[in-house]
Every structure is written in C-alpha cells, then in structure tokens.
Amino acid sequence: MLCTHELKELKKEFMKPIKVGLLGIGVVGGGTYEVLRRNQEEITRRAGRGIQIAMVADRNIERAKEITRGECEVVGDADLLVNNPDIDIVIELIGGYGVAKDLVLKAIANGKHVVTANKALLAVHGNEIFKAAQEKGVIVAFEAAVAGGIPIIKALREGLTANRIQWIAGIINGTTNFILSEMRDKGLDFDVVLKEAQRLGYAEADPTFDIEGVDAAHKATIMSAIAFGIPVQFDKAYVEGITKLEAADIRYAEQLGYRIKLLGITKRMPNGIELRVHPTLIPEKRLIANVEGAMNAVVVQGDAVGSTLYYGKGAGAEPTASAVIADLVDITRLANADPEHRVPYLAFQPDAMENTPVLPMTEVTTSYYLRMHVMDQPGVLADVARILADATISIDAMIQREPEEGESRTDIIMLTHQTQEKNMLAAIEKINALPTVLGEVTKIRLEELT
C-alpha cells in the first residue's frame, strides 16, 4: 500500500512528459515534429501528459538540427537512440526491411514502445515483431502504415470490433490513383502519365513499389490480418500493378459505366481468405469510384454495420504525422497499463489468431472485363461465346467497337459474371487459340463492391 506522499510522487512522475526518440526526420518525421510542436497544448490535454521528442537520429545531422532548432539532442548513430534509457517510445520512420527491422527489434528488446509507419516491415516481418513486443510487454503501433492519415487501423481494430468483417477494398496507393485519374482525364497512356507524375513529384524516381502494386499489397496484408485474425502473410498476396493498363481499357470501361482503380482487396470466403492487389473495374456510381488524384479510400463491409467508407490523404508530411501522433497519444495513455488490458496488436488476442488459409489467385472468385482484338467476320462472337458458355461463364454486357471505314478488324469488350480465376484462365487460353482472335485477350477483374 502506498502512502499519500508516495502516491503524490508517483503522480508527479506520470505527469512528466513521456520521452520520444525519432528515427528519421525526413518528410514524415519533420511533419511529426512540426505538428507535435504546433498542437502541443491540445495534445497534452488529450494524452494526460506531455509528449516530448527528446532525441532524433538521422544520417543528415545538419538538416535534423535545422528542423529541431536546438530543442532536442540530434545524433547520427541510431543505436544511441534505441539504447538510450531515457527514451520511452521510439518512432521508426526510416522505412524498408533492413536497418529499420534491426532498430525496431533493438528498441523492443530494450523495453521501448514503438510507433512505425513502415508497412513493408510489418507486412513481411510483422509476426516476428509482434511476438517480440508481446514478450517484452511493449506496444507496437502502426496507424500511419496503412492509408496515411486515415484512421483505418483504429476503425478496423476498435470501431468495428463487433463485426464479422466480410471484405475490405481500398485505394491505398496515392501514386497509382493519381496516375489512373490522369490517364482517364486526359486519355493518356501509362508511360506518359508516369513521367508527368515524376516531374510533379507525385511519383518517386524509382516508382516500382507503387506502380507494381507492392506498396498496396503491404497495406492490404496488414488490413487482412486485423480484419480476419490471421498472421500477416505478404508472401501469399497476389500482386499486380498498373503498368500494363492501356488508355483504351479505361475508355471502354467508362462506356460500360465503370472506373478502373488499383484496389487492395481482402475477402472472407468459405474456403479461405482472398488477398489481392490488381487493377479493378468498379461501378462508377460507387463513392469509392470517384476518389481521384492522390487520395486514398477504404470500404469495409461488416456483417452488422454494413458498408463503411473511409477517405483522406494517404501520404504526405502532416497527414501521416496525424496518424503517428495518434499512436503516440494512445501509447502515452496506456504506457503504464497492464499489457493484458491493451488492445491487441492485430485486433484479435494473440492466442486466438487463426490459420485460415490465404487462397491462391487461381481459387479467387471475381467478375471480369475481357477485351479482344478480332477479325470482323461471321462466327467470331459465337466462337468466343461458346467457349465461355462451355466454361459456365455467363456474359453480363458486351460492346463492339465500330470498325473504321474499310477496317476488317475490331475490338470486342465483354463483362462477365463471377467465376473462379482458374476457370477464366482456361477459357482465355482457348479464346487466344482461336484463329480469328488476334493477339492475347486483355483481362481485368471487376468487383461490384456490394
């Protein structure tokens, strides 16, 4: 039993600012520093005590000193920060799987709570990191890792906790959404828009992770684990980017009442979990179909709540800082709570996780958009329709491009009802083999999102 004096001392100790170490003060780190400073008073009123960035580690010491204006210690050696006994929380904003992983594990081993925006790290090594954190009784928080400033992790893990989540579909990569919006607006091809996006700073000099769908797959992997109570399994995700999309498909999709978006999708099916990223036709009347430019949006379908939509900035200094600081406040409130009473890292209690399989892409069920370049002669359509009928694939809609004067070829565009991917692949192989079909069939998946 503590006496009144001791209780007062303990209370004073808790009222001291919690000390934070910042690994990396680039765009997001700088934003975090700035927002914390600007909104310090309100943040303290919410958190119950001050949150003080006491140390920053960055390779660029000069820049770090400029941003922090002598208010905190700046070091070049990140080990000094993760080993500093005065630091309670480490924010990791370095990115990637290498150094960041070592530093996060060291911080955890030293009993520090961790906030990270590193989706790649969590999607690939999350299970190991959460296990280490659980053993040490520390928190690993990662709101900023998925959809930047949108509080989607909080929504999935806490706000929707009553629900059996049925599916999630999200525009979770701003770079590709910007490129797709420009392609549609201006009727331009992918390569042209990518160069423009790089010139404007919307796309990185090396945009591979974004345009190949890897970044979106990292984020979808994390959401999948939280939604369904399964381990993070990036290696099981199907990943297809937007590099092969043609302006013609965006135009034809539009004629049929659809938009093409790069979606991260995860779905509960009777035989397992679907986890996939690919360009997707969605009906233009869905709100998410109208998310343009670099914005992000996520639709979550729960059995009790129905469909919910979350929209906002998925990247950038202050939007991402908003998520990082939300985690800091959560940790500040809970730092001294019994670990058993905290919200589990992945929403489900660690001993209640399930090993529901993630389905291979061939087992995924979806609808399709098919475009084929064909000879404009009798029987071509009948042959294609026969192959689809034999595969029990039902056609939902069809258009044929009006051939130019004297042209003997045309394009046929079909939308199908749902079928399994392996069924569609077999049918496409047969269609490709028809002598009247020129080149390969273009296939894009379609989701009604209802």
- Catalytic residues, by residue number, are 219
Alpha helices by DSSP H, 261-398: 317-334, 380-390
The answer to whether 222 and 119 have CB atoms below 8 angstroms apart is yes
* Shortest CB 160 distance to ligand HSE, Å: 22
Q: Give 60's contacts (C-beta < 8 A, 6+ positions apart).
A: none
Q: What are the CA-CA distances from residue 320 to residues 117, 149, 156, 289, 409 (Å)? A: 8, 5, 18, 23, 50
Closer residue to ligand HSE, CB minimum distance, 302 or 319: 319
The CA–CA distances, whole Å, from 433 to 51, 219, 289 equal 65, 38, 34
Quick one: how many helices (H) and strands (E) in the chain? 16, 17
Nearest Cα to 307, choosing from 166, 173, 152, 146? 166
Q: Which is nearer to ligand HSE, 174 or 241 (CB)?
A: 174
Q: Which is nearer to ligand HSE, 229 or 241 (CB)?
A: 241
| Least distance (Å) between residue 32 CB and ligand HSE | 15
What is the residue type of 334? L
Kindly give the residue spans of alpha helices, DSSP state H, lying in 266-336.
317-334
Tokens of 85: 């006994």
Phi first, then psi: give them for residue 369, nearest 5 degrees.
-105, 130
Choice between 323 and 387, CB closer to ligand HSE: 323
Q: Which is nearer to ligand HSE, 217 or 275 (CB)?
A: 217
Minimal distance in Å, beta carbon 202 to ligand HSE?
A: 8
Nearest-approach distance from CB 56 to ligand HSE, in angstroms: 21
Q: 261 phi and psi, to 5 degrees?
A: -130, 150
In whole angstroms, the minimum distance from the beta carbon of 290 to ligand HSE comes to 18
Binding site for ligand HSE (CB under 6 A): 173-175, 210, 215, 314-315
